[in-house]
């Protein structure tokens, strides 16, 4: 069961194309928890592709997870903490592609089993509507009564063949609910079914205050304050800062746009303890001159601060590229 589930989550080319989604939902929060749990560690770009979200939205989700203590972020990516594992277990549900074409109208079907919530189901119309709003073609809801799968609001059972197919994928007991999302592709079928299941269990309980703050709270507040001061002093040129023991921040236009940032020149300045002026060869400022200087306390390098000289960029195309990179 979980092998099929990982195929949907971790192979981004299965997700329909069409550009990044401008907003995220409880489904994306749920799926991010599952992906981070299954892929350790996972980088933001990989997570963004698997969620079919822009990097900005993905960064906001990670900010929320950090705010809740659900993840720790390393140079290699995000890793689920013990608190995050408990949060994941609270919303864990069995998910699998299922062969139920005789029961549904879509080319691909994804089933979700939610344990012991059959009393919350009326006729299944609410779950169908949620799945359609999430992008699925539709959804079929079944409940288990007397060890038989039936359509809610009736005594009408599914066919023995269909019940056998579903019980082959899921361990189903009395009170359980099966929601089958149907769609032209696996990603939309999964999103529809899981979205309906999340609504059924009452949504994702997570503090969303990270949506309203410009950057994640950082233990090194002095470094952040210094970086913002430098940002203002240099006419709001992009500024990057990193302490010795933590990943850094990247500031543009008066706000932190990345709070897990580092770069090759920053790492080199940290290791060598010298100021480096060089054109970046990778990362969001590739091809642009960067100046990075070390911060010393009692003769020890405790951090670095860098300024990106976008004024020296040649042509408008580079300005457009920078804008697109940060969307």
Write down the pTM of the prediction.
0.60
Residue 296, strand partner residues? 301
What string of pLDDT tens digits covers the 327 residues of the chain?
A: 333 333 333 333 333 333 333 368 899 999 999 999 988 789 888 999 999 888 778 888 888 898 899 998 888 889 999 999 999 988 889 999 998 877 877 789 999 999 999 999 999 999 999 999 999 999 999 999 999 999 998 889 999 999 999 999 999 999 999 999 999 999 999 999 999 999 999 888 887 655 543 333 344 567 788 888 898 899 999 999 988 777 788 999 888 888 888 888 998 888 888 899 999 998 888 999 999 998 876 567 888 999 999 876 544 344 434 444 444
Length reported for the chain: 327
Domain ranges of the chain: 1-213, 217-325
Taking the alpha carbons at both ends of the chain, their separation in whole angstroms is: 36
Q: What is the pLDDT of residue 23?
A: 65
Q: What is the pLDDT of residue 79?
A: 92
Q: The domain at 217-325 falls in which architecture? A: 2-Layer Sandwich (3.30)
Q: The domain at 1-213 falls in which architecture? A: 2-Layer Sandwich (3.30)
* C-alpha of 178 from chain center: 25
- CA angle in degrees (0–180, nearest 5) for 293-226-277: 20
Residue 213, strand partner residues? none
């Amino acid at each position: 069961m979980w092998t099929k589930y990982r195929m949907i989550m971790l192979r981004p080319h299965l997700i329909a194309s069409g550009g990044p989604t401008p907003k995220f939902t409880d489904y994306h929060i749920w799926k991010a928890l599952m992906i981070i749990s299954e892929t350790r560690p996972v980088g933001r770009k990989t997570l963004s592709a698997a969620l079919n979200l822009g990097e900005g939205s993905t960064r906001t989700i990670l900010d929320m997870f950090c705010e809740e203590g659900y993840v720790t972020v390393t140079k290699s990516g995000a890793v689920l903490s013990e608190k995050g594992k408990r949060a994941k277990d609270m919303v864990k549900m069995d998910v699998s592609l299922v062969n139920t074409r005789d029961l549904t109208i879509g080319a691909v079907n994804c089933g979700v089993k939610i344990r012991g919530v059959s009393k919350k189901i009326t006729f299944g119309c609410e779950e169908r509507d949620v799945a359609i709003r999430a992008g699925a073609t539709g959804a079929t809801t079944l409940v288990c009564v007397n060890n038989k799968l039936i359509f809610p609001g009736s005594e009408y059972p599914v066919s023995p063949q269909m019940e056998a197919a579903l019980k082959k994928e899921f361990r189903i007991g009395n009170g359980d609910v099966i929601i089958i999302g149907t769609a032209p592709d696996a990603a939309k079928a999964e999103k529809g079914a899981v979205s309906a299941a999340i609504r059924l269990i009452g949504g994702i309980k997570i503090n969303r205050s990270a949506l309203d703050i410009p950057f994640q709270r950082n233990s090194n507040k002095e470094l952040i304050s210094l970086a913002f001061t430098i940002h203002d002093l240099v006419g709001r040129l992009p500024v990057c800062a990193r302490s010795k023991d933590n990943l850094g921040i990247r500031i543009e236009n008066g706000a932190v746009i990345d709070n897990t940032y580092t770069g090759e020149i920053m790492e080199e300045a940290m290791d060598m303890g010298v100021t480096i002026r060089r054109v970046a060869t990778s990362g969001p400022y590739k091809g642009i001159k960067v100046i990075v200087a070390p911060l010393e306390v009692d003769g020890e390098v405790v951090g670095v601060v860098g300024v990106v000289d976008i004024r020296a960029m040649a042509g408008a195309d580079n300005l457009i590229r920078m804008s697109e990179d940060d969307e």
